[in-house]
Amino acid sequence: MPSLKDMRVRIASTKATQKITKAMQMVAASKLRRAQTAAEAARPYADKMAAVISNIASAAASSPGAPALLAGTGKDQVHLLLVCTGERGLSGAFNSSIVRLARERAIALMNEGKEVKFFCVGRKGYEQLRRQFEKQIIAHVDLRGVRQLAFKNAEDIAKKVIARFEAGEFDVCTLFFSRFRSVIAQVPTAQQIIPLVMEETAANGNATSYEYEPEEDEILTRLLPRNLAVQVFRALLENNASFYGAQMTAMDNATRNAGEMIRKQTLIYNRTRQAMITKELIEIISGAEAV
């Protein structure tokens, strides 16, 4: 049984941990508002960009000169999984849920006889996937030195993906990230970005018809790479908001658990101390009666 000194040290240690988790919760809460605002502001632009491209692409997808980013390579043998996770932990199941979704997709594809490659954005996803798919990870982008996410970060990632696509290294690219819904709800999401998946309205021919200058193929040649960067940027912003939401929730739970541990440890300490005092009193009284 631990001594009273050991119990006091344990209680003090738990209180120190509680102060740290409380501070981390407050920091995450302060950063969450800005991250959530940025993620919500990026959604309309990304959605409208996808809708416009789908509208243009509905007429150009079947033409012989359609861009490869739209039409694809005509095969789906090699798949690139672009997995975006966080750079830090202490955020509950935020990182592991994204990795789990990507891992399940990779295993399903390999069972179908497909070849799978990974492009990791974020340290935590890279560390988890490396345990099982180390030889299949072809690239890793570390954003730890980035204080504030900018479109340039997503554009650099998009350029690397497009360069590998043009080099014939893969046929299909799927983006994995966590869509921010609320502080307690983050949804792991898989979105195919190469070749582009058109919206149903455009694909069914229900979209409004426009005349374009220059021609659709020339417009798509410029817009498709930018749309890829926009979708990656949106994923990074959604991930950033999801991370702080998950971290805020995780640190709040940790603070509550620490408080419960302190209560139980203090109760055990007081009972043990009372038992020792009672034992000493009994020994003193017994000795006095013996005299």
Residue 26 lies in a domain: no
**Where residue 272 sits, what CATH number does that domain have?**
1.10.287.80
Whether 257 and 241 map to the same domain: the answer is: no
Token pair listed for 281: 């009193």
How many Cα atoms occupy the beta-carbon half-sphere of 136 within 13 Å? 22
85, 210: one domain: yes
Residue 73 placed within a domain: yes
206-219 pLDDT per residue, tens: 555 556 666 666 77
Residue 100 has pLDDT above 60, yes or no: yes
| Number of domains present in the structure of the chain | 2
Q: Is residue 59 part of a domain?
A: yes
pLDDT digits (tens, 9 = 90+) for 206-265: 555 556 666 666 777 788 888 899 999 999 999 999 999 999 999 999 999 999 999 999
> If residue 118 lies in a helix (H) or strand (E), which one and from where to where?
strand 115-121
Residue 119 phi/psi, 5-degree rounding, is -120, 110
Same domain, 150 and 225: yes
Q: Are residues 243 and 256 in the same domain?
A: no
Mean pLDDT of 80-93: 90
- Rounded CA-CA distance 216/22 in Å is 55
Domain that holds residue 86: 39-249
Distances (CA, A) of 192 to 95, 100, 112, 144: 20, 17, 18, 26
| Lowest pLDDT segment from 119-128, 215-224, 268-277 | 215-224
- Do both 230 and 97 map to the same domain? yes
Q: What is the pLDDT of residue 201?
A: 44
Q: Are residues 159 and 285 in the same domain?
A: no
